[in-house]
Chains A and B, each alone.
Chain A
Amino acid sequence: MNNMLTIAAKELLLLRRDPGGLLVLFLMPAVLVLIITMVQKNVMELTGEQQARLLFIDESKSEFGQSLTKIFADDDSFVLFPRESSERDQALAEVKEGEYTACVIVSKGIDQTLTKKLAALFAGNADESGSQGTSAAFSVSFDPALLPAFRGGVIGKLKVAAAQVEMKKKINHLEAELTKKMEEAGMPPEAIAGEAVALGGLADQLVEVREEEDSDEQDRPGVVQQNVPAWALFGMFFTVLPLGGALLRERRSGVWDRFLSMPLSPMSVLMGKVTAYSLVCLLQFALIGGIGYKVFPMLGLPAFSIAGAEIEIFVTVVAVSLAACGYGLLLGMICSSFEQVSMFGSISIVISAAIGGIMVPVYAMPEKLQQLSVVSPLNWGLTSFHDVLIRDTSLWRLDSGVLFLILFSAVCITLSWRLAAGGR
């Protein structure tokens, strides 16, 4: 135990005297989590929350155009910039340059085409009223750099707006036809008015789609609750590089030979290193969690919170630290050059992060990669964080990521010890 603590204290002293190494260990993940979270929040907003800047050209000067203008103006998802027909080319150029999200052009004669189609519909002329008839459309041009998901969102909202206008027009037409038919049947118009169902209300949406929310708004999984642990995890696994490098340096400098010639167990040397670097991992998580808690709200992002799950989070962070340190030891024991440690270490962590869902959620990956994600230690860590922070499920079960992380660290540390005890 004494030897282990002596080794741990020495490792921390060496780290303190290595400003470059400290920058890699603490500044890199801190900057990473700040930038990636802000970028991802923006991307997520782009797919549903951010306002679209719409240029609107009503060439039809019709009731349809006016109704559409009113719907867009009332919808918080859009900021409308009306333009004249004569400005069409310039408007399209501005959209192409990315100054506006899209340009909606309601073509001349849309009202007449729609009226004609409705008349055909009520006359029972399917060919004229359906898609084979003259088209009644308005066109949309998008900023070419727009994400497909955002494009799809805007198109969806435009379709709903068009359907609303179209429905109102159909109901008006139905009301007129009904009045005409009843008059023809000898019923006085007053009777119709008295008995009339409020047909105009038919266009109103009666069924509402409501998203179920947790009782506490703070508990809703957001980009911050997902990103802070994900990138903290990524940073913690990068301790593999200084730890593996330090061990390799000892092996190459003869210090390891000195250890082997001393009356101490190689396991105590390895566990001393694990103790020191696990402490570094805990500090990394505290720093990144602290940024999520204190700095994010200043930047307009929600605050990161582990309230109510402190013990589970601590256990998860310790399990991740042990796994990262175990892997670092193994690399330090297997590799024979610093290039191997840095190249193999960083590439394997980036691959493990990529297939583990750190960069892109696992559900968004191709099926084969999704199957592969179960072998990634970073996925085990991320799943454990999500279990605690988002899904509110227990860590204490057999398929828990924490258990896999501890097993992984045990295998790595045992292999490292076997290699270390085997001598040169």
Chain B
Amino acid sequence: MTLTIYIIAKNGIILASDSRASSFLTSNDTVKKIFKLDNHNAVGIAGDGPLAMHFFDTISSELIFRNSVSALAEQMRSLGKARFDEFFSHQTPKDRPSLNITLAGYMLNGKPEIYTLNSNDNFVPRKSPTGFECIGIPIIANYLLNRLYEPEITTQHAAELAAFCIKETSSQDNRVGGPTQISSFSDTRQYAELSREEIEKIEKKCEQFRLLQKGNFYPEDVSGGAASSQDATRQQ
């Protein structure tokens, strides 16, 4: 399974994902789930990964990027519906594989926007009203982003927040995991993937974040304790 996160920061857009593909018995931690469409538009995927890769291979040459991201979303809806009807004409819509896509980019006025498109829903684009979007296994990340996201966040800290959401989710759900992938772009800055070293630095910082003051639920027992301590003894 997958967790892919998009965050709109005040100076750009951050995309992040885990890299785990899991099936009933196996998992693989090398799967790429965020992709550059052009220098200022990108997509993230959840669902059938191999299908998604082929899907984008077949439609990318037909996409026109000179217009806004909303126009791009509409092109993807149209191409997505046509391709799926062609790929899976032998299956009823409810029996077809599921593909979730998150698309992020800029309007002509420089405003960033995120859209989600789902194959089960004919790829009808839905615009994110919150400034962030999660697909795959989104519950924990949505909770964290609802609590922690503010539009004033910078791309640097949005990358840390996204990595934190992925790590928290992977700590609770083993369908999310493997090395984190993070990319960033803006209307003036080209799409770029963060290096492994940059991501490791971010993840190290995430280890210091405290989601909850867990210790508040475990205060010291004031009444207990000895005057001095004997050495530890092993129980048989």
State yes or no: do A and B come from one complex: no
